Structure formats: C-alpha cells, structure tokens
C-alpha cells in the first residue's frame, strides 16, 4: 500500500492536485503485494517559463522506482511520470521472472542502493561533502544494469552473485556498459 508525500516548489499543492497525483500513482498498487508498505515521494515544481516538473521516488526494500518529467502542463507531467514508473515495474518484473525461469531459482531481493555522491567543482578543494553507505546484495551484472538505469545513475556497485566479489557497472560515453571486477 502506497502512502503519499506530495510537496510543491513554487506552487501550492491544492486538494485537487493532491488527489489527482494520488489517484494516478495509486495505479501502481496493482503491481505490489498487499503487504508492501511504501511512501511515494512526489515533488512538484513550476518554473518561471511556466513548465512543470514532477519527480516521483518510491523506495522499496528490493528496488527504488524513480522518474521525472517536465512539460507545459502539470497534470500531463503527472500522467507521463506514472506511465514511466509503470514501465519500470513491468520491465523489472519481466526481467526477474525470466531469470528465475532460466536459472530455476527464486528472485533475489535487492536492497535499495544509495545514490552516487555529487561531484565537486574543480574550483573547490578536494573535500568530501557527502557520504553514503550502501548495502551490497548479490546479483548479476544484468540486474545491476537494470537497477542503475532505473535509478538514473551512471554507475552501480554490487556483489557479483557468481564470484562473490564487489563489482561496478557503469555507463560508457558510447551508450554501452562497462563492468569493473575486483580481485579478492
């Protein structure tokens, strides 16, 4: 069951806006088990050029769903974000079901990974401005790439289920993916 945290920047979140957001995002409940408790963090922004940006993050114990859309209409942005999140859930479920059928085992639950630290400007000193902790869960490189893409990051750290070593997948400039494996 999803609960909602709707927040507005440069816009007052009226009851009509709040109910529309909740109605649209509640469509995702059909993909989750009834025991799932999650908070949908919704951020609505309106810019001076009259465009509206909607960001939605739904952290689950095994996956983080995140999408954002910008359009001239706030309600259209909400619709587009909902569609994007629905595609992410379908893609994830299809991928996990396919893997479990191929390998003959139940899918591995993946904890929500932390986001990548923000890079400092070259003008600033070499100082750590943000620290995050990640819990590495066993998975293969394909699932790690899926997680990375869903989060919208350029890299993802994970424990390789085959080698039990720490690995990193990353997106290359040419649009393909790279894998860094560690020596134990």
53 in a structural domain = yes
Confidence band of 54 (pLDDT split at 50, 70, 90): very high
Give the Cα separation of 101 and 53 in Å (integer).
Answer: 39
> Is the domain of 144 the same as that of 97?
no
Q: What is the mean pLDDT of residues 23-35?
A: 82
Q: What is the mean pLDDT of residues 42-71?
A: 88
What pLDDT score was predicted for residue 133? 80
Q: What is the mean pLDDT of residues 29-52?
A: 83
Sheet of strand 52-59: strand arrangement: 2-9, 38-46, 52-59, 64-71
What pLDDT score was predicted for residue 125? 56
> Is the domain of 30 the same as that of 76?
yes
Spell out the SS3 assignment of the chain. Answer: CEEEEEEEECCCCCHHHHHHHHHHHHHHHHHCCCCCCEEEEEEEEECCCCCEEEEEEEECCCCEEEEEEEECCHHHHHHHHHHHHHHHHHHHHHHHHHHHHHHCCCCCCCCCCCCCCCCCCCCCCCCCCCCCCCCCCEECHHHHHHHHHHHCCCEEEEEECCCCCEEEEEECCCCCEEEEECCC
50 vs 108, higher pLDDT: 50
Evaluate if residue 156 carries a pLDDT over 80: yes
Confidence band of 82 (pLDDT split at 50, 70, 90): very high
User: Looking at residue 172, which CATH number applies to its domain?
Assistant: 3.30.505.50
Most confident listed range (32-36, 105-109, 169-173): 169-173
What pLDDT score was predicted for residue 115? 37
Residue with tokens 């990548």: 116
The average confidence (pLDDT) of the chain is: 81
What are the residues whose beta carbons fall under 8 Å from the beta carbon of 42, sequence distance 6 or more? 4, 5, 6, 7, 21, 25, 54, 55, 56
> Is the domain of 15 the same as that of 84?
yes
143 in a structural domain = yes
Percent of the chain past pLDDT 90, that is, above it, reads 28
Q: What is the mean pLDDT of residues 88-111?
A: 67
Evaluate if residue 135 carries a pLDDT over 70: yes
pTM (global) more than 0.85: no
124 in a structural domain = no
User: Looking at residue 56, which CATH number applies to its domain?
Assistant: 3.30.160.100
Evaluate if residue 51 carries a pLDDT over 80: yes
Q: Which range marks the domain in which residue 176 is found?
A: 138-181
Confidence band of 98 (pLDDT split at 50, 70, 90): confident
């Amino acid at each position: 069951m999803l609960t909602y945290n709707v927040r507005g920047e440069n816009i007052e979140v009226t009851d009509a806006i709040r109910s529309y957001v909740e109605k649209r995002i509640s469509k995702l409940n059909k993909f989750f088990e009834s025991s799932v408790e999650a908070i949908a963090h919704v951020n609505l922004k309106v810019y001076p050029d009259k465009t509206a940006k909607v960001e939605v993050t739904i952290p689950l114990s095994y996956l983080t769903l995140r999408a954002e859309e910008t359009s001239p209409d706030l309600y259209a942005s909400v619709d587009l974000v909902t569609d994007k999140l629905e595609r992410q859930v379908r893609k994830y479920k299809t991928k996990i079901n396919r893997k479990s059928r191929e390998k003959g085992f139940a899918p591995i639950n993946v904890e929500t990974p932390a986001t990548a630290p923000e890079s400092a400007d070259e003008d600033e000193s070499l100082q750590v401005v943000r620290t995050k902790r990640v819990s590495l869960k066993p998975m293969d490189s394909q699932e790690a790439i899926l997680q990375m893409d869903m989060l919208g990051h350029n890299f993802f750290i994970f424990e390789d289920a085959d080698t039990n070593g720490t690995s990193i997948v990353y997106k290359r400039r040419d649009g393909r993916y790279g894998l860094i494996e560690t020596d134990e």
